[in-house]
Chain A
Amino acid sequence: MAITEERPEILELESGDTSPSTGAFARPTNASGWRAWVFTVDHKKIGIMYGAVAMFWFLWGGVEALLIRAQLFTPDGTVLTAEQYNQIFTMHGTTMVFLVIMPLAAAFANYIVPLQIGARDVAFPRMNALGLWIFVFAGIFLNLSWFLGGGPDGGWFAYAPNTGVTYSPGAGMDFYALGLQIAGIASLVGAINLIVTVLNMRAPGMTLLRMPVFTWMIFVVQLLLLFALPVITVALILLSFDRTFDANFFNVAMGADPLLWQHLFWIFGHPEVYILILPSFGIVSETLPVFSRKPLFGYSVIVISGAAIGFMGWGVWAHHMFVSGLGPVGVAAFSATTMFIAVPTGVKILNWIATMWGGNLKFTVPMMFSISLVSMFTIGGLSGVMHSVAPADTQQTDTYFIVAHFHYVLFGGALMGLFAGMYYWWPKAFGYKLNESLGKWHFWILLVGFNMTFGPMHIVGLQGMARRHSRYGPEDGFDFWNAVVTIGAFVILIGMIVFAVNIVRTWLGYKAGTVPQEPADPWDGRTIEWAIPCPTPEHNFDYVPVITDVDDFWHKKYQPDENGKLRKVADGNEIAQKGDQNPHLPSPSYWPIVLASALPLIALGLIYNLWISGIGLLLLLGAMFGWSLEPATDPDAGHGDHEEHGPDDVDPPGDEGSELAEEAPVV
């Protein structure tokens, strides 16, 4: 499948080789209104759309969570039937992992990475739009199952053969298996695009070890995606073949091995854990130094430990399977690797603490969320180390202790970091800051609600309360803490309502003029995305920066005097670029969304009627044809030529490279 995604880019004709009229219909022009978003190839708009769609699914995944908690509020809950409960907890996990945290990370990756490396866009802007739209359609497709006979009901991990036709006869698991394959294509397209962008399009002077940590972590994540996605794709394909074409991969009557799915799933699934958390690690590695007024402690150690997590993440998957009968050797080996992988993570945490130590801490909202990541993730990390001890894990498996653990790392870790990133980069994306006092309400309510929800789960888990059960009895003695947990979940809801109010109020205030427009560098930032105006101009950088340091922008503002003391030599807002250039940009295109819309059709056809697949396939082929005949940049939409600079440090003769240093002292 992915091959066909590649073809258009390879076949793509250079500008000028063909006229735009070779497309099936005229190109969209970059105007205003919804068309400017739907057909855009701008990484910033794509990033914002990733974020907006992810927040929509966050709302829906949250409703699912509240339904689960309502069911478990009292013993013998009657809110949901057992079947509905299975579907709801399955889709809660699937939604939060694949439709919320991953795309939120993709939102930041798309928006921030090109800015942090001084690029005008990602390497393949249309492929970027394709990734977004495939993700959007994957989310819609997955949730169509609610209207077509019920959601998937086998857990987000979907252990086969439990998810085969025999035990899950409805169409729900088909939607799961095919929907995640579609989402996987989206992530793969995005991952390749960002890998190429980071490898090839860094500003002159930005060596790998001068890259901002956020970009580094995103780079590691994309490599993890690149290698982890095909493995789950194979697992999902096997499951789909079983369900759709009567293959026998998970047919135990034929001698299937139930561990096959578990291995394939967790070989993907454990790197996936780092795919979810590393972007947030990157975000707090940006915010903590800015709000501690100190450089990041041990930049290279943080980068290398992030890369080490990326490597070692491949060697720990079977700790999800300690009770599956691996045998003592396997269990011992994976116990050891699991304990070992805590080392680079611990290194990061110590580095963040050392970054804050002795700093001039500014308790802004992004800082508070960042600190809560460091502390809440540490709690989740410590219970994770407990799981590496196989005898303890045998007790904890399938109890709420596990649920508590992964919510501390995913909610307390990943989501807290993502919220930090939202508050931190909001002015860069929209031109104004979110309200700080509402933000603090959001933070504190969320923190209290979060700990009320997931803290007591440790207790009921150790008392033996099982996961994934739609009821517990009054005789079990779980009533009190479950009531607390459910109340906590609704406290989280209140926190999120405050966040929504904050977004709407500041937006309205900004439009009414009561919320001020922020200058380029509102936080006194360290990385080069703060060297361009807020909100980011359409072309990002007027002049491609020349990088000489880690935290290059900071070093342009602060330099040591003769006594070695740091002195402010320039104001960030004054030396920032003005955003007044008008360079040649990639043109919008219809084809990404058209091509993406073919995939859910093909998948629907596999479930219901192959004729629908045929229509989808025709649409796919047509879109690929149209795509490859359309030049990436419309030759008729030019603004004059040669205003761009290559990321190489060799200046092209006769170009503007020589002016660069004089005109833009910042960069």
Chain B
Amino acid sequence: MAYGRTEWDDHHHLPTNTGLTNEKVTMWAFLGSDCLLFGALVSTYLLLRNRVGPSTSGPTAADLFDIPFTSVSSFVLLMSSLTMVLAVTAIQRAEMETCKLWLLTTAGLGAIFIAGQVYEFTSFYREGLGFTTNISSSAFYTLTGFHGVHVSLGIVMLVTMWVLVSGGQLGPERAETIEIIGLYWHFVDIVWIVIFAVVYLIP
């Protein structure tokens, strides 16, 4: 790879103009882009949230929200940010076993959140709110579904990291890889705070 990566890492210099590695700037740039993706999806939902069309076309998502249930799964997801921080700290201190534990915990908490979302979608569907039922349902499933896909990809990354750390292929010298995945994970959590507040809590 171009200079600044392999050559300079040997000397433990920060090689770049910004002082951040290319990988980290990449993640920040990507997250900036992703902000607009969710911005557009949230705006779409806000525009369409109450539109059900003719009277026969079923409930809106807001009619079916189970706020206590979603609050619990939101809390689980937010706690996963804490364990993510612990994982990053652990690998920076070269405590590989601790790091593995927190990586797996983070992935597990994320998986619980996804399971909650699957349960929520299923129960909504049973209550008559399909993806094609009305405009508001299309908007709801698209927005929360995109977030769910983001969390799922994060889980895949975390599990991959766990495999690499366990196999000894990823040591403390590459702690930044986990830090960058942490950036992504925190971003996905922050997006959920916005979605939970705007979609679920604001009437």
Q: Quick one: which of B127-158 are within 8 Å of A by CB?
A: 131-132, 134-135, 137-139, 142, 150, 153, 156-157
- Which residues from chain B contact A278 at a C-beta distance below 8 Å? none
Q: Contact at B26–A196, with CB atoms within 8 Å?
A: yes
A352–B174 Cα gap in the complex (Å)? Answer: 48
**Contact with B47, one of A230, A257, A544, A653 (Cβ below 8 angstroms):** A257
Q: Contact at A2–B47, with CB atoms within 8 Å?
A: no
A253–B132 Cα gap in the complex (Å)? Answer: 13
A196–B24 Cα gap in the complex (Å)? Answer: 9
Given A123-B26, A192-B29, A199-B18, A227–B3 Cβ distance below 8 Å?
A: no
Q: Contact at B1–A9, with CB atoms within 8 Å?
A: no
Q: Contact at B36–A644, with CB atoms within 8 Å?
A: no
Total inter-chain residue pairs, C-beta < 8 Å: 199
- Which residues from chain B contact A235 at a C-beta distance below 8 Å? 40
When each residue 7-24 of chain A gets 1 if its CB lies under 8 Å from chain B and 0 otherwise, what string results? Answer: 101110111011000000
Question: Across the two chains, which residue of chain A brings its CB closest to B50?
Answer: A255
A14–B20 Cα gap in the complex (Å)? Answer: 17
- Which residues from chain A contact B165 at a C-beta distance below 8 Å? none
A226–B180 Cα gap in the complex (Å)? Answer: 19
Question: Across the two chains, which residue of chain A brings its CB closest to B135?
Answer: A248
Nearest Cβ distance between residue B175 and chain A, in whole angstroms?
13
Nearest Cβ distance between residue B95 and chain A, in whole angstroms?
21
A241–B132 Cα gap in the complex (Å)? Answer: 10
**Contact with B15, one of A9, A191, A647 (Cβ below 8 angstroms):** A647
- Which residues from chain A contact B39 at a C-beta distance below 8 Å? 230-231
Nearest Cβ distance between residue B162 and chain A, in whole angstroms?
12
**Contact with B33, one of A9, A122, A229, A642 (Cβ below 8 angstroms):** A229
- Which residues from chain A contact B2 at a C-beta distance below 8 Å? 119-123, 125, 201, 586, 644
Q: Contact at B17–A192, with CB atoms within 8 Å?
A: no
Nearest Cβ distance between residue A219 and chain B, in whole angstroms?
12
Interface size class of chain B, counting residues whose CB lies under 8 Å from the partner chain: 35 or more
Nearest Cβ distance between residue A233 and chain B, in whole angstroms?
7
Interface size class of chain A, counting residues whose CB lies under 8 Å from the partner chain: 35 or more
Q: Contact at A200–B138, with CB atoms within 8 Å?
A: no
Q: Contact at A646–B177, with CB atoms within 8 Å?
A: no
Q: Quick one: which of A177-201 are within 8 Å of B by CB?
A: 188, 191-193, 195-196, 199-201
Question: Across the two chains, which residue of chain B brings its CB closest to A117?
Answer: B17
A121, A234, A584, A647: residue with the most chain B Cβ atoms closer than 10 Å: A234
A482–B18 Cα gap in the complex (Å)? Answer: 55
Is residue A633 contacting chain B, with contact meaning CB distance below 8 A? yes
Q: Contact at A245–B131, with CB atoms within 8 Å?
A: yes
**Contact with B13, one of A120, A257, A641, A652 (Cβ below 8 angstroms):** A652
Q: Contact at A254–B13, with CB atoms within 8 Å?
A: no
A644–B187 Cα gap in the complex (Å)? Answer: 35
Q: Contact at A260–B47, with CB atoms within 8 Å?
A: yes
Q: Contact at A653–B9, with CB atoms within 8 Å?
A: no
A7–B30 Cα gap in the complex (Å)? Answer: 12
Nearest Cβ distance between residue A188 and chain B, in whole angstroms?
6
Question: Across the two chains, which residue of chain A brings its CB closest to B51?
Answer: A255
Q: Contact at A245–B132, with CB atoms within 8 Å?
A: yes
Q: Contact at B142–A247, with CB atoms within 8 Å?
A: yes
Given A192-B29, A226-B29, A646-B8, A17–B169 Cβ distance below 8 Å?
A: yes
Given A10-B177, A226-B32, A230-B33, A648–B160 Cβ distance below 8 Å?
A: no
Q: Contact at A14–B9, with CB atoms within 8 Å?
A: yes
A3–B34 Cα gap in the complex (Å)? Answer: 9
- Which residues from chain B contact A119 at a C-beta distance below 8 Å? 2-3
A586–B33 Cα gap in the complex (Å)? Answer: 27
Given A192-B33, A227-B33, A230-B34, A256–B51 Cβ distance below 8 Å?
A: yes
A188–B132 Cα gap in the complex (Å)? Answer: 30
- Which residues from chain A contact B18 at a C-beta distance below 8 Å? 199-200
Q: Contact at A234–B11, with CB atoms within 8 Å?
A: no
Is residue A645 contacting chain B, with contact meaning CB distance below 8 A? yes
A125–B5 Cα gap in the complex (Å)? Answer: 12
Is residue B37 contacting chain A, with contact meaning CB distance below 8 A? yes
Is residue B89 contacting chain A, with contact meaning CB distance below 8 A? no
Given A196-B25, A238-B142, A201–B4 Cβ distance below 8 Å?
A: yes
A147–B25 Cα gap in the complex (Å)? Answer: 42
Q: Quick one: which of B39-62 are within 8 Å of A by CB?
A: 39-41, 44, 47-48, 51-54, 57
Given A237-B142, A241-B142, A653-B11, A195–B29 Cβ distance below 8 Å?
A: yes
Given A195-B25, A201-B4, A227–B169 Cβ distance below 8 Å?
A: no
Nearest Cβ distance between residue B52 and chain A, in whole angstroms?
7
Is residue A499 contacting chain B, with contact meaning CB distance below 8 A? no
Question: Across the two chains, which residue of chain A brings its CB closest to B181?
Answer: A10
A199–B28 Cα gap in the complex (Å)? Answer: 12
Is residue A246 contacting chain B, with contact meaning CB distance below 8 A? yes
Question: Across the two chains, which residue of chain A brings its CB closest to B178?
Answer: A10
Nearest Cβ distance between residue B91 and chain A, in whole angstroms?
14
Q: Quick one: which of A385-402 are within 8 Å of B by CB?
A: none
Q: Contact at A200–B7, with CB atoms within 8 Å?
A: no
Nearest Cβ distance between residue A123 and chain B, in whole angstroms?
4
A645–B153 Cα gap in the complex (Å)? Answer: 36
Question: Across the two chains, which residue of chain A brings its CB closest to B137?
Answer: A248
Q: Quick one: which of A191-227 are within 8 Å of B by CB?
A: 191-193, 195-196, 199-202, 226-227
**Contact with A238, one of B44, B131, B153 (Cβ below 8 angstroms):** B44
Q: Contact at B25–A644, with CB atoms within 8 Å?
A: no
Nearest Cβ distance between residue B200 and chain A, in whole angstroms?
21
Is residue A4 contacting chain B, with contact meaning CB distance below 8 A? yes
A155–B14 Cα gap in the complex (Å)? Answer: 49
Q: Contact at B16–A251, with CB atoms within 8 Å?
A: no
A94–B174 Cα gap in the complex (Å)? Answer: 44
Q: Contact at A652–B8, with CB atoms within 8 Å?
A: yes
- Which residues from chain B contact A122 at a C-beta distance below 8 Å? 2
Question: Across the two chains, which residue of chain B brings its CB closest to A649?
Answer: B17
Given A11-B177, A255-B52, A260-B44, A647–B135 Cβ distance below 8 Å?
A: no
Q: Quick one: which of A573-596 are within 8 Å of B by CB?
A: 584, 586
- Which residues from chain B contact A655 at a C-beta distance below 8 Å? 11
**Contact with A201, one of B11, B17, B34 (Cβ below 8 angstroms):** B17
Q: Contact at A646–B15, with CB atoms within 8 Å?
A: yes
When each residue 361-376 of chain A gets 1 if its CB lies under 8 Å from chain B and 0 otherwise, what string results? Answer: 0000000000000000
- Which residues from chain B contact A267 at a C-beta distance below 8 Å? 40
Is residue A115 contacting chain B, with contact meaning CB distance below 8 A? no
Is residue B23 contacting chain A, with contact meaning CB distance below 8 A? yes
**Contact with B1, one of A11, A227, A632, A646 (Cβ below 8 angstroms):** A632
Is residue A111 contacting chain B, with contact meaning CB distance below 8 A? no
Q: Contact at A3–B150, with CB atoms within 8 Å?
A: yes
- Which residues from chain A contact B54 at a C-beta distance below 8 Å? 253-254
Nearest Cβ distance between residue A259 and chain B, in whole angstroms?
9
Q: Contact at A648–B13, with CB atoms within 8 Å?
A: yes
Question: Across the two chains, which residue of chain B brings its CB closest to A200?
Answer: B16
Nearest Cβ distance between residue A222 and chain B, in whole angstroms?
9
Is residue A124 contacting chain B, with contact meaning CB distance below 8 A? yes
Q: Contact at A200–B25, with CB atoms within 8 Å?
A: yes
- Which residues from chain B contact A251 at a C-beta distance below 8 Å? 53, 135
Extra inter-chain contacts (9) besides given A247-B132, A248-B53, CB under 8 Å: A6-B26, A7-B156, A226-B32, A248-B137, A249-B135, A264-B44, A647-B16, A653-B11, A655-B11
The 13 sampled A-B contact pairs (Cβ below 8 Å) are: A6-B26, A7-B157, A11-B157, A119-B2, A125-B1, A195-B29, A199-B18, A199-B25, A231-B39, A249-B48, A254-B53, A256-B135, A633-B1
Residues of B within 8 A of A (CB): 1-9, 11, 13-18, 20-23, 25-27, 29-30, 32-34, 36-37, 39-41, 44, 47-48, 51-54, 57, 131-132, 134-135, 137-139, 142, 150, 153, 156-157, 160, 164, 169, 174, 177, 180-181, 184
